[in-house]
Structure 1
Amino acid sequence: MALATQSNFANPDAAYRRIVEAHRGLSDEQSATLDAALVLILANHIGDIGVLDDAIAFAKRRLPDDSQSGVTT
Structure 2
Amino acid sequence: MLIGEIYSTIIYCFATFGLFSNLFLIWLILRYTMKEMQVYSKILLQTCFVDIVGICMFVVSQPVKCGKI
Does TM, normalized by the shorter one, top 0.5? no
Bigger-Rg structure (1/2): 2
**So what's the TM-score if we normalise by structure 1?**
0.33
**Which structure shows the higher helix fraction?**
2
